[in-house]
Amino acid sequence: MLHDIDAAEDWLDSWAAGVSAQAERAAALSRRVAGLTASAASADGSISVTVGASGQVEKFELDDRVRRLSGAELAQQLTAVMRSAQANLSTQVAGEVEATVGADSETGRAVLHSFESRFPRQGDEAAGGAGDGR
């Protein structure tokens, strides 16, 4: 019976250590994601957008070439570049998830699902060009 109690204590200690380690990894993921930004630009470079960790627009840059666009074209390109930056953010978050809690963990799956559902991968043609993550 003493052996059973020792085994139970060992199992409980091991379980508690695992929970603590997972909590530390989740906290590290949260800190790392909070510091992320991602950027994208239109094919001609006339529009660039940087988004913050929650996908919010941090910075728009427009150069004079956008004056040749109609209002509808400008709106479409702004939206496409913003979505491309957000998709780049989602990709960066996936890397942070893998590096901390793992994509197969419950926490990892939840974070990935959250970002991928809000910021789905865009086709290259949607933004009219390549984006770059920061």
Q: Indicate the pTM of the whole model.
A: 0.77
Burial 97-111 (b: 16+ CB within 10 A, else e): beebbeeebebbeeb
pLDDT band at 131 (very low <50, low <70, confident <90, very high): very low
For residue 38, the SS3 value is: strand
The angle that helices 106-118 and 71-100 make with each other, rounded to 10 degrees, is 170
Share of the chain above pLDDT 90, in %: 68
pLDDT higher at 115 or 3: 115
User: What confidence tens digit (pLDDT) does each residue in 52-84 have?
Assistant: 999 999 999 999 999 999 999 999 999 999 999
pLDDT at 72 (0 to 100): 97
What stretch of H or E contains 69? Answer: none
User: What confidence tens digit (pLDDT) does each residue in 27-48 have?
Assistant: 989 999 999 999 999 999 999 9
pLDDT at 128 (0 to 100): 43
130: left (phi over 0), alpha (psi -120 to 50) or beta: beta
pLDDT score of 125 more than 70: no
- Domain boundaries defined on the chain: 2-133
pLDDT at 12 (0 to 100): 78
- In whole angstroms, what is the distance from residue 108 CA to residue 126 CA? 28
Q: Which of 55, 52, 33 is nearest to 111 (CA)?
A: 33
The angle that helices 71-100 and 2-34 make with each other, rounded to 10 degrees, is 150
pLDDT at 130 (0 to 100): 43
CATH class, range 2-133? alpha beta
pLDDT band at 109 (very low <50, low <70, confident <90, very high): very high
